[in-house]
Amino acid sequence: MIFLIKNANVVLDSDIKSLDILIKDGIVENLGTSLKCSDARTIDAKNLTAIPGIVDMHVHFRDPGFCHKEDIKTGSEAAAAGGITSVACMPNTSPAIDSAEILRYIREKSSKAKVKIYPIAAITKGLLGKELVDFEELIANGAVGFSDDGRPVENAALLQFAMEKLEKLGFPIISHCEDLNIVGQGIINKGKISQKLGLRGIDRTSEDSITAREIAIAAATNSSVHIAHVSTFGSVDLIRDAKRRGVKLSAETCPHYFMLTEEELLKKDADYRMNPPLRTEKDRAAVEGALIDGTIDSIATDHAPHTRGEKANFLTAPNGVAGLETSLACVLTHFYHTKKLTLPEIVEKMSRNPCKILKIQGGKIQKGSPADLALVDLNQKWTVNPEKFRSKGKNSPFKGKTLTGKVVKTFCDGKLIFDALS
């Protein structure tokens, strides 16, 4: 189908202009004013903002192995509802994404998905940290990056070898920075809240120590590394210093780390438990500041859905939160409507930079580019109700919160994949 979007406020690289967008054969065929096309379905986008499709570079679609929590179909539907047109799926599935066979399975299921699915393959076989995967074979079968997400590669020598090899191959390595020996039996941040609740805490040094190790290896070998889900002021300081020194480094964080703190855990609700955990106000403010000054490059969700039953017990529930359908609204509420970030800056962190890091297409609305975009009502207020999520996961830490900014329509490769009015 041909679409003609009229009078949209289009977010460009560093500007916003009122433009028409003509979509044909999956691409932006034209971008300008007073465009006409008799064969097109016309959409009046007056008072709506057109942004490049969000690229979420850190999601868990639980497929294969845990499809009762999420699968590629439901995950992609949830992504579309959040204005997301591309996702990078982490490898801690069952079996792990460590073979050509599993990548072929994901590619087959992804062919029917509403959004673009980019698999992140494991660094080590079975995520066990002992033997490296065949990087070249997995790249040939569609892997766009490598991570043992959910746990670090504990053997530093093995990680160094992987980083050097992937640097030569030109593919990113994504590190889950967490010393499991320091984590121990902790389930929330170590501090006043863990003491008040009488629970074992996770010391911030668990994250900071591995962040420092990854930076040291990257610096010594002139290799690249991407630091996932940054949550501490210590890691922020380490990343900021490393970037000043020219280390090849990028980093991401998630909405819960710049909007929420460990105080939420006083509710004893497992929907506020994730890994790394919610931390202090000092940490939250540091993460926010790092996004504003560019120390942290991108915003992802670490979308990690679980069933209601699994999240029922605060003490024994698995870590993770559902975030696909709230991420853009959270960022607009927290940064745009408070004038801390402009729309082009938000697009940079939620679309352009993830594309650069993963070396995939996207991040811009321009003539000849894939028609991946979302139409957003920036001023629409809505209350988060997880029961209305397209995701199987209802475990949102933003449930009941009023956010400002709502996705109205989402297009991927020129197809209308989400329409709030239908």
Torsion of CA 103, 226, 302, 420, to 10 degrees: -80
Name the pairing type of β-strands 402-412 and 373-383.
antiparallel
282 burial class (0-12, 13-18, 19+ CB within 10 angstroms)?
exposed
Contacts of 151 (CB under 8 A, 6+ apart): 127, 129, 176, 178, 180
* Per annotation, catalytic residue among 283, 302, 377, 413: 302
Partners of 176 in beta bridges: none
Residue-level length of the chain: 422
Asked about 302 being catalytic, the answer comes back as yes
Q: How far apart are CA 291 and CA 345, in angstroms?
A: 10
Q: For the chain, how many helices (H) and strands (E)?
A: 13, 18
378 burial class (0-12, 13-18, 19+ CB within 10 angstroms)?
middle
Q: How far apart are CA 209 and CA 211, in angstroms?
A: 5
Q: Cα–Cα distances in Å, from 403 out to 10, 328, 379?
A: 22, 10, 9
Active centre residues (catalytic): 302
